[in-house]
Amino acid sequence: MFIIENYSTAVLFCVITMLCWGSWANTQKLAGKTWRFELFYWDYVIGIFLFSIIAALSLGSIGENGRSFITDLGQADINNIASAFLGGIIFNAANILFSAAIAIAGMSVAFPVGIGLALVLGTLVNYFGVQKGDPVILFTGVLLVAVAIIINAIAYKRAATANQRVSSKGIIISLLAGLLMSFFYRFIAASMDLENFENPAAGKMTPYTAVFIFSAGILASNFVFNTILMKKPVIGEPVSYNDYFKGKFSIHLVGILGGLIWGIGNSFNLIAAGKAGPAISYGLGQGATLIAALWGVFIWKEFRNAAKGTNILLALMFLFFISGLGLLIMAGK
């Protein structure tokens, strides 16, 4: 299977994760013009699962290093399989709430509040699970990111006041999503042998197998979580499976593309975790907040009606985010 050999490549993979995790929601924004997010989310989950299979049968099955996907899956311990599967369930509960928050409050709010919280708490959880990286530099970076989140919240309040409305529901749902999102990664990481991808311990899984099981957990749990949300949506009228199958092929492809984009980022992040450590890998990946904020501010114009001085706050937010992410990279050297 394909294995990263050095820390620099691991950082590059984490940057790709950041771009993917910060950009997939654009497909929801595009589909949302004519398509309810509950229906979009089915295609998104299918896209994630499809990429896990593609990655497992390609990168996860080539080369001489490590165990190939089929061999690795056959020897995996049931406890490790259950751990990765549970990670998928937790992630799906978080992400479906997060998608609802995007629909209500927009990318430039849902990402900094929800994913920003997930970055701070998730980095702490993953560091105490596997203590890899300089803790002082790591936690200083996390602190700077937390400051960026607070600044973004202030900027959003100014924008919301200008628009004569404050979406408290969107913020609350974002916080709940971020809290859940903080824990999913640890369950996947625990199912793998992060110290030795080339010759993993018996019963442990390679990142490709772990991603496949994780994605299966997402797909299976979606029949519960999304069915409930379709019947009792946070906004709008209930939708049905009949509505889903009435959708045009092109609109389904948009959702699948969103899942493929997120899946690429997820696979690259876990591949990088062997060299970077789960805390740094996860923290850098969740720097997606910065990418999403850039999309929200410059492409979707979500702050166009904000009060005077908001642009200065946004500039400070980006500065603190970039500084914090830079320290996360330094912490692993």
Structure tokens at 330: 């330094």
Long-range contacts of 153-158 (CB under 8 A, 24+ apart): 153/112, 153/113, 154/313, 155/303, 155/306, 155/310, 155/313, 155/314, 155/317, 156/105, 156/108, 156/109, 156/112, 158/306, 158/307, 158/309, 158/310, 158/313
What pTM was estimated for this model as a whole? 0.91
Separation between Cα atoms, residue 305 and residue 323, nearest integer Å:
28
End-to-end CA distance of the chain: 25
Alpha-carbon distances of 257 from 56, 71, 100, 261, rounded to whole Å: 18, 29, 18, 6
Separation between Cα atoms, residue 131 and residue 146, nearest integer Å:
21
Is residue 36 classed as helix, strand or coil in its secondary structure? Answer: coil
Rg of the chain, C-alpha, whole Å: 19
Is residue 66 classed as helix, strand or coil in its secondary structure? Answer: coil
Separation between Cα atoms, residue 192 and residue 270, nearest integer Å:
9
Q: What pLDDT is recorded for position 251?
A: 96
Element (H, E) at 141: helix 135-162
Instruction: Tell me which residue of 117, 118, 121 sits closest to 129, measured CA to CA.
Output: 121
Count of C-beta atoms within a 10 Å radius of residue 128? 11
∠ CA(40), CA(28), CA(148), 5° rounding?
Answer: 135
Structure tokens at 222: 């979606």
Alpha-carbon distances of 104 from 29, 151, 160, 282, 301, rounded to whole Å: 11, 20, 12, 26, 15
Element (H, E) at 188: helix 168-190
Q: What pLDDT is recorded for position 234?
A: 81
Task: Provide CB contacts within 8 A for 113, sequence distance 6+.
Answer: 101, 105, 149, 152, 153, 171, 174, 175, 178
Q: What pLDDT is recorded for position 167?
A: 62
Separation between Cα atoms, residue 215 and residue 211, nearest integer Å:
6
Element (H, E) at 19: helix 7-23
Going residue by residue through the chain (333 aa), what tens digit of pLDDT does each one get?
999 999 999 999 999 999 999 899 899 889 988 899 899 999 999 999 999 999 999 999 998 888 999 999 999 999 999 999 999 999 999 999 988 887 787 766 777 778 778 988 999 999 998 898 999 999 999 999 889 878 877 887 777 655 545 467 888 888 899 999 999 999 999 999 999 998 899 999 999 999 999 999 999 999 999 999 999 988 889 999 999 999 999 999 999 999 999 999 999 999 999 999 999 999 998 888 788 878 878 888 877 777 788 889 989 999 998 999 999 999 987
Q: What pLDDT is recorded for position 214?
A: 98
